[in-house]
Amino acid sequence: MSEPLITLEHVTRTFTVKGQTIKAVDDVNLTIPQGEMLCLVGESGCGKTTTGKMIAGLLPTSAGRILYHGKDIATIAGNDRKAYRLGVQMVHQDPYASLNPTQTIYDILAAPLQHHGFTRGEYETKRRICHLLEIVDLTPPDDFLEKYPHQLSGGQRQRVSVARALTVLPTFIVADEAVSMVDVSIRISLLNMFARLKDEMGVGVLLITHDLALAKYFAWEGRIGVMYLGRLVEIGPARQVVEHPQHPYTQVLLSAIPEADPDATRAKPRVALRSTDMPSLLRLPTGCTFHPRCPVFAGEVCENIVPPLEKANWGSEAACHLVHANES
Amino acid sequence: MAEPTLSVRDLSIVYQARRGQVQAVRNISFDVERGEAVALIGESGSGKTTVGLGLMRLLPATANIIGGSIVYRRYKNGSNSASRETEVLALKGDNLRQFRWRECAMVFQSALNALNPVLRISEHFADTAKAHGYLSGYRQGTALRERSWQLLSMVRLDPERVWRSFPHELSGGMRQRVLIALALLLEPQLLILDEPTTALDILTQRNIMDVLKELRDKLGFSMLFISHDLALAAELADRVATVYAGKIIEVGDVRTIFRRPYHPYTIGLIKAVPTLTSDKSSLVSVPGSPPDLIQLPTGCKFHPRCPLADERSQQEEPALIEVEPGHHVACWHWTHAREALKAYRAET
């Protein structure tokens, strides 16, 4: 196995809200090899975006370390630091807010190229930009150079955001809900574009999403991680997680998703929750944080002991006492 | 068979913009039967929300209804013939106010902004009742509370907790359920829901869908969904209409639309949505983007994105015709669209 690109070791992030401390991300361990397609899924407030931001270096961790090529990103310095900052790029959710409306597409893409000395002179810059626009399927590139973001559709803007992330030749892109704001008819083509980046340039992608069907499609050969209230509760090969979910929370999520097939969706068996209310992050349940809602709640052990993320069936890891009990 | 609760005929709505007229809704016709759930599906900018707002006569001042009719029929409980027939477009003043909410209520798109942040939930109910003269006079106090509490429990909220709360104290899903309860306060016969589950988490979405199903079984109102979410339509609708560039291009029974769609756009849309069971290779996106509604393409509005387009598609716009009982399609190539698209995909 190749050397891991990014490693999260016991990463925790807390925020202080009105004098109270909340744990947005709690003791997450994760190893991401080079060129991996990884999806983090979960409901709002589960910490998936915070995790993404910490990986991209936009938020410091409260405890634990994040390593890039084996070096702690909090203390990394000099050339290594520059390599990290360029190597990990972020594509934000809202393509309407993440591009400067007063700059043309050329300006938006030329700035990082010139600032970091990737290209010299206008001719070379323009050639490189045209190449980038072709990579993200904005063709012919000449039609787009002089356009402003407001002249583009949401999907096209998102492609510009990706092209901007690619200007500095990153090794890893964190895409936070990067397709949830574009129309359903073009989501697939955006995801295929990310897949091509991996094949052609070896760029790994962390896609943060709440859509499990989309995650399965995107991370087909990669992995899906499921987060709940700040903890990673299950992670495994994408198709296995969807077809053979191990953690009861993943099972509940999957059974709740409506399908675009009238017969299948109406006949689907549902796993009911014991409580539909999401606990507040201010008063997290003890033990396994899912226990007040868990359909297979097993009493004391769930209430008192935090289950570790351990190997389960189908190549997945899950954080649940019962999954492990059933195995042994 | 009884006449439909709502009959929309040749409805056309334009917006005045600086660049010209935005043709948001072009000659749309459809019915919503008594107790039926119909879904209008389409991409953003297809004009589906404009239809919803037009039905409620809540369009902004820049919009203009340039033609068509919207006939609403009121049924008395248990009766099979309409007791009253109303032309919604002719309503004015008090009559229009009575129509809104009493006959036809709407759950708006952004649940998070649709409630007044300085009013308690109880005051929202009181305001709505007062504005529409519901349970007026001495009866209002307790009777209104009883009715509201009953509705709140129907949408699976704890009335005791919610009643005195301000909107910001409730989660997104709870607010959405408050809005649904509020929409049902005056016992409307038609409920319009604009993207009722967008922006909500999976488990919350599931909860809202279950609530809607339950309410419909209990109260028997008709529903019109406006959504881009095919799964929602598959789960809740009886009939589905695909909207493209302001026009209905295919409409039929929910199973027919998902199993045997004829229009290349509907086929493309269904193929473009990943489901939990779909195989990676079966997914294809619809190339291109929706047309500019100010400068619409000639002929069939989908032709610039359609692999089957020929000269005729470029010149003449196909009309919506009934190709099977209850299944209408607007495409020159509907007879062979599915096979031709399959062959086209195999080639590329």
Residues B140, B146, B149: CA angle, nearest 5 degrees? 125
Identify whether residues A72 and A36 lie together within a single domain. yes
- Asked if residue A4 has a cis previous peptide bond (ω within 30° of 0), the answer is no
Residue B136 has pLDDT above 70, yes or no: no
Distances (CA, A) of A5 to A9, A59, A67, A235, B329: 13, 19, 8, 18, 52
Question: How many residues can be counted in chain A?
Answer: 328
Taking CB atoms within 8 Å and a gap of at least 24, the contacts of A318-327 are A318/A233, A318/A234, A318/A236, A318/A246, A318/A247, A318/A250, A319/A231, A319/A232, A319/A233, A319/A234, A319/A247, A319/A288, A320/A233, A320/A246, A320/A247, A320/A248, A320/A288, A321/A288, A322/A248, A322/A296, A322/A298, A323/A246, A323/A247, A325/A298
Contact A256 B289 (CB under 8 A): no
Considering only CA atoms, which of A184, A159, A181, A141 is closest in space to residue A99?
Answer: A159
Counting residues of chain B whose pLDDT is more than 70, the rounded percentage is: 96
- Residue numbers of the domain that contains A281: 244-328
Contact A253 B258 (CB under 8 A): no
Contact A265 B171 (CB under 8 A): no
Let me know: does B257 contact B242? Beta carbons within 8 Å: yes
pLDDT of residue A328: 47
- In this complex, the residue of A185, A214, A256 whose CB is nearest that of residue B43 is A185
Identify whether residues B237 and B274 lie together within a single domain. no
Distance, in Å, from the CA atom of B146 to the CA atom of B159, rounded to the nearest integer, reads 10
Identify whether residues B269 and B147 lie together within a single domain. no
Distance of CA A165 to the CA centre of its chain: 15
Identify whether residues B128 and B217 lie together within a single domain. yes
Identify whether residues B186 and B55 lie together within a single domain. yes
Chain B CB within 8 Å of residue A153 CB: yes
Residue B280 has pLDDT above 80, yes or no: no
Distance, in Å, from the CA atom of A100 to the CA atom of A148, rounded to the nearest integer, reads 9
Identify whether residues B58 and B205 lie together within a single domain. yes
Distance, in Å, from the CA atom of A188 to the CA atom of A8, rounded to the nearest integer, reads 29
Tell me if B39 is assigned to some domain. yes
Q: How far is A204 from chain B (nearest CA, A)?
A: 19
Contact B273 A260 (CB under 8 A): yes
Distance, in Å, from the CA atom of A142 to the CA atom of A127, rounded to the nearest integer, reads 10
pLDDT of residue B138: 56
Chain A CB within 8 Å of residue B255 CB: yes
Chain A CB within 8 Å of residue B323 CB: no
Identify whether residues A286 and A179 lie together within a single domain. no
Residue of B285, B293, B348 to mutate, testing the A interface (most A Cβ within 10 Å of its Cβ): B285
Identify whether residues A8 and A87 lie together within a single domain. yes
Distance, in Å, from the CA atom of B89 to the CA atom of B86, rounded to the nearest integer, reads 9
pLDDT of residue A327: 56
pLDDT of residue B112: 66
Chain A CB within 8 Å of residue B169 CB: no
Distance, in Å, from the CA atom of A153 to the CA atom of B320, rounded to the nearest integer, reads 29
- Residue numbers of the domain that contains B59: 6-243
Residue of B276, B289, B345 to mutate, testing the A interface (most A Cβ within 10 Å of its Cβ): B276
Considering only CA atoms, which of A235, A249, A210, A215 is closest in space to residue A317?
Answer: A235
pLDDT tens column, B75-101? 876 677 777 888 999 998 888 988 888
Chain B CB within 8 Å of residue A254 CB: yes
pLDDT tens column, B216-268? 998 889 999 998 888 889 999 999 999 999 999 999 999 999 999 999 999 98
Contact A216 B234 (CB under 8 A): no
Mean pLDDT of B330-348: 86
Identify whether residues A76 and A194 lie together within a single domain. yes
Q: Count of alpha carbons within 13 Å of B178, Cβ hemisphere only?
A: 31
pLDDT of residue B139: 61
Contacts of B280 in chain A (CB under 8 A): 217, 220
Distance, in Å, from the CA atom of A297 to the CA atom of B317, rounded to the nearest integer, reads 59
Contacts of A253 in chain B (CB under 8 A): 202-203
Contact B231 A258 (CB under 8 A): yes
Residue A255: both structure tokens together: 């059974």
Let me know: does A115 contact A121? Beta carbons within 8 Å: no
Tell me if B1 is assigned to some domain. no
- In this complex, the residue of B235, B272, B287 whose CB is nearest that of residue A258 is B235
Let me know: does A234 contact A290? Beta carbons within 8 Å: no
Contact B274 A214 (CB under 8 A): yes
Element spanning B130, H or E:
helix B121-131
Identify whether residues B169 and B301 lie together within a single domain. no
Identify whether residues B236 and B280 lie together within a single domain. no
Residue with tokens 């003449």: B316
| DSSP helix/strand/coil, A22 | strand
Residue with tokens 């626009």: A133
Tell me if A116 is assigned to some domain. no
Identify whether residues A227 and A276 lie together within a single domain. no
Distance, in Å, from the CA atom of B327 to the CA atom of B229, rounded to the nearest integer, reads 21
Contact A258 B44 (CB under 8 A): no
For chain A, the domain total comes to 2
Residue of B210, B275, B281 to mutate, testing the A interface (most A Cβ within 10 Å of its Cβ): B275
Identify whether residues B174 and B142 lie together within a single domain. yes
Phi-psi region of B86 (alpha: psi -120 to 50; beta: other; left: phi over 0): beta
Tell me if A153 is assigned to some domain. no
Contacts of A184 in chain B (CB under 8 A): 43, 228-230, 269, 272-273
The tens place of each residue's pLDDT in chain A, 328 residues long, gives 467 899 999 999 999 888 888 889 999 999 999 989 999 998 888 888 899 999 999 999 999 999 999 889 989 889 999 999 999 999 988 888 889 999 999 999 999 999 999 998 899 999 999 999 988 888 788 888 999 998 887 788 888 999 999 999 999 999 988 887 777 777 888 888 888 888 888 899 999 998 888 899 888 889 999 999 999 999 999 999 999 999 999 999 999 888 888 888 888 888 888 877 778 788 888 899 999 889 888 888 888 889 988 888 888 899 998 886 655 4
Contacts of B290 in chain A (CB under 8 A): 153, 183
pLDDT of residue B201: 81
Contact A210 B269 (CB under 8 A): no
Tell me if A13 is assigned to some domain. yes
Q: How far is B260 from chain A (nearest CA, A)?
A: 12
Identify whether residues B50 and B119 lie together within a single domain. yes
Mean pLDDT of B147-161: 89
Tell me which residues of chain B, numbers 291 to 320, contact chain A at a CB-CB cutoff of 8 Å.
Answer: none
Residue of B273, B281, B348 to mutate, testing the A interface (most A Cβ within 10 Å of its Cβ): B273
For chain B, the domain total comes to 2
Identify whether residues B286 and B151 lie together within a single domain. no
In terms of CA atoms, which chain A residue is nearest residue B284? Answer: A188
Pick the last residue of a domain from A223, A239, A255.
Answer: A239
Tell me if A55 is assigned to some domain. yes
Pick the last residue of a domain from A178, A206, A239.
Answer: A239
Through-space distance between the first and last CA atoms of chain B, rounded to whole angstroms: 48
Contacts of A183 in chain B (CB under 8 A): 43-44, 228, 289-290
Let me know: does A309 contact A246? Beta carbons within 8 Å: no
In terms of CA atoms, which chain A residue is nearest residue B198? Answer: A180
- CB contacts < 8 A, A to B, total 114
DSSP characters over A103-159 = S-HHHHHHHHHHHTTS--HHHHHHHHHHHHHHHTT--STHHHHT--GGGS-HHHHHH
CATH classification at residue B192:
3.40.50.300
pLDDT of residue A2: 63
Let me know: does B66 contact B12? Beta carbons within 8 Å: yes
| DSSP helix/strand/coil, B185 | coil
Chain A CB within 8 Å of residue B207 CB: yes
- Report ipTM for this prediction: 0.81
- In this complex, the residue of B43, B235, B269 whose CB is nearest that of residue A266 is B235
Q: How far is A32 from chain B (nearest CA, A)?
A: 23
Q: In what order do the strands lie in the sheet with B247-253?
A: B104-107, B190-194, B222-227, B37-41, B239-244, B247-253, B327-329, B321-324
Distance, in Å, from the CA atom of A277 to the CA atom of B156, rounded to the nearest integer, reads 11
